[in-house]
Amino acid sequence: MKIATWNVNSIAARLPVVLKWVAEAQPDVLCLQEIKCVDAKFPRDDFARLGYQVETHGQPTYNGVAIVSRFACQEVQRNFPDAEANAQARLLAATIAGIRIVNVYIPNGQAIGADKYVFKLDWMKQLRRFFDTTCDPNAEVLLCGDFNVAPEDRDVHDPQLWQGSVLVSAAERAALEEIKAWGFVDAFRLHHQDGKLFSWWDYRAVAFRRNAGLRIDHIWVSEALAARCKDVVIDKAPRQWERPSDHTPVVAEFE
């Protein structure tokens, strides 16, 4: 069972790259973030041809999440249960093959102290509450997506340069730990301890060639699911293809 997460930065712009990767990597489940399209415009036929069904939670222009799956999606949940009707589309959950999969696009936060930063910290609090109220920590639960936080300095190419910035600040890391304390482990860190292993590189300043990146895309698992986790891989290949996303897929393998 292969479960992947990928911020594609517009599914319309990224369709050739995503289809190529799916055909090659053969994930069972692919959680997408920043699809930047409404549900009706998602190219689900292209995925159906490859044997996948699609659940979407889109919105115009910004945000939007989707789950592409070989298996049936049950108990599909869009956004937090108590969210306003016009809330930003940043959460999509489904139970697939007995695993509760929660796909999130955590807000970027823009800059320390900005309105969007306050919104980010509040959204992360809501996410912790979502698990408190809707999930069982003893079950097989998987949280993945673009978390927009590098948990530790080893997840940052130049911690000195990034010190105090959005995506690495102490408050964001503390909010992330609060979510983790519900009962998650970082599946990637079960298998890899090195630093300088990133999932995102800025489009600017030839960041990818310099490996000037951050590890902000994550797959977290409950203890019960951690016991089945064989490996987690960051697949850097699609970041080098034509017209890439600035993020690359992270893939977890379960027995």
Partner DNA sequence: ATGGTGGATGGTCCA
Nearer to DNA, 175 or 221 (CB): 175
Establish if 215 lies at the interface with DNA (CB under 7 A): no
Q: Do 7 and 203 contact (CB within 8 A), yes or no?
A: no
Nearer to DNA, 117 or 220 (CB): 117
Looking at residues 62 to 101 of the shown chain, list those that interact with DNA (rule: CB under 7 A): 62
Stretch that binds DNA, among 10-18, 129-137, 184-192, 231-239 (CB under 7 A): 10-18
Kindly report the number of other CB atoms within 10 A of residue 191's CB atom: 14
Annotation says 146 is catalytic: yes
Stretch that binds DNA, among 9-17, 74-82, 130-138, 176-184 (CB under 7 A): 9-17
CB of 170 to DNA, least distance (A): 20
CB of 191 to DNA, least distance (A): 27
Establish if 110 lies at the interface with DNA (CB under 7 A): yes
Total interface residues for DNA by CB under 7 A? 17
CB of 205 to DNA, least distance (A): 5
Closest alpha carbon to 205 in 152, 246, 167:
246
Given the residues 39, 45, 115, 146, select the one marked as catalytic.
146
Closest alpha carbon to 31 in 206, 178, 218:
218
- Which residues contact residue 130 at a Cβ distance below 8 angstroms, ignoring those fewer than 6 apart? 80, 81, 91, 102
Q: Which of 48, 50, 51, 60 binds DNA (CB under 7 A)?
A: 60
Given the residues 39, 45, 46, 105, select the one marked as catalytic.
105
Stretch that binds DNA, among 47-55, 102-110, 133-141, 180-188 (CB under 7 A): 102-110
Establish if 36 lies at the interface with DNA (CB under 7 A): yes
Stretch that binds DNA, among 68-76, 79-87, 198-206, 232-240 (CB under 7 A): 198-206
- Which residues contact residue 225 at a Cβ distance below 8 angstroms, ignoring those fewer than 6 apart? 99, 140, 141, 142, 254
Angle at the Cα of 109 from the Cα atoms of 88 and 137, rounded to 5 degrees: 70
Nearer to DNA, 62 or 82 (CB): 62
Separation of alpha carbons 42 and 62, rounded Å: 14
Which residue ranges make up the site for DNA (CB under 7 A)?
9-10, 12-14, 36, 60-62, 107-108, 110, 116, 203-205, 243
Residues designated catalytic: 105, 146
